[in-house]
Structure 1
């Protein structure tokens, strides 16, 4: 397994629309393992392949045990995920992102979703999610379409955060 570099905004790669995974093979399974290692090390609860420079429709999530030592991790890899149902009611969560370090904002999304996807064996699965898991799935799926959580904010707030990120990048280089 290997730690992968995480691209940060405003890198134009993050605006790329990811392509479907053609075949769930050992190369994809290795990518999934590397993405989990990278996500846990960051630390984060979700990571889309495009965030590590791979424009494939693939994401990894683990919202269980976040900050708690008494819960076992429950890693979940979703390959070619599609949301097939959303609830009528919304939920607001304070979101952050490994590609937008140290910035957080409230984002409103559907409270529940049902998603179909392929697992690491290439088997079709269906998952109904609510709460943090629902928010995390939607957040990571946005990445697959070139959307950051910042895109859900007002233009003023989004531009303010992007300017700060650009300034941080210039100071770091």
Structure 2
């Protein structure tokens, strides 16, 4: 199953793009808004889904594959749950927060606990350009915040204390050398 709006794309195989790895500076750049809703955007969303599944992960952004566009693909459960979010932004966030273990396809093998809002309301466009809103709580709310941060150039470890961030970066560097 492809993200909503990708069904028209028929391929015999999958396209897995190279994932930008930490500490690549592109992960700290804000992505450009999407203004054209065409077949190219749908193909990018499908490629993101294929790449995310292969990583594996439950969320990915266009910047994770080196494309500076505000596009997110999430799949939290089965194949039918895949969704694409274009130009997402948070409209409202609850005062209540939760701790959740997070990681990134750009920093495989590394996770840590991050405090996030327990509920959010987001606005976004679908792959056809239609305006939508969505209310989310728990894991879905965490994923929206995590991926929108990435679109804004905030890599997830920037939400950690400097001490935790430095330790995690050193562990990742060591893992990459071995």
- Common fold: TM-score over 0.5: yes
Partner secondary structure for residue 102 of structure 1: coil
Matched, 1:57 2:101: no
Partner Cα distance (1:109, 1:32) in 2:
26
**1:14-163 pair list within 5 angstroms:** 14-65=27-78, 72-163=79-170
Higher strand share: 1
Q: CA deviation at 1:112?
A: 0.5
Provide the residue aligned with 1:68 in structure 2.
Answer: none
Contact 1:14–1:143 (Cα < 8 Å) also in 2: yes
Q: Which digits, 9 at most, give the CA deviation of each residue in 1:93-137, with x for residues without a partner?
A: 111111111111111111000001110111111100001000011
Q: 2:21 aligns with which of 8, 22, 32?
A: 8
TM-score computed with the length of structure 2 as normaliser:
0.88
Q: How far, CA to CA, are the matches of 1:40 and 1:49 in structure 2?
A: 14
Would you say the 8 A contact 1:10–1:166 is kept in 2? no
Give distance in 1, aligned partners of 2:80 and 2:40.
23
Provide the TM-score with structure 1 as the length reference. Answer: 0.91
> SS of the residue aligned with 1:103?
coil
- Give a deviation string over 1:40-91, Cα, whole Å, max 9, x none: 11110000110000011111001124xxxxxx53111000011101111111
Deviation, structure 1 residue 168:
4.0
Cα displacement (A) at 1:163: 2.3
Unpaired runs of 5+ residues, structure 1, are: 66-71
- CA-atom RMSD in angstroms: 1.3
Q: How many residues align?
A: 165
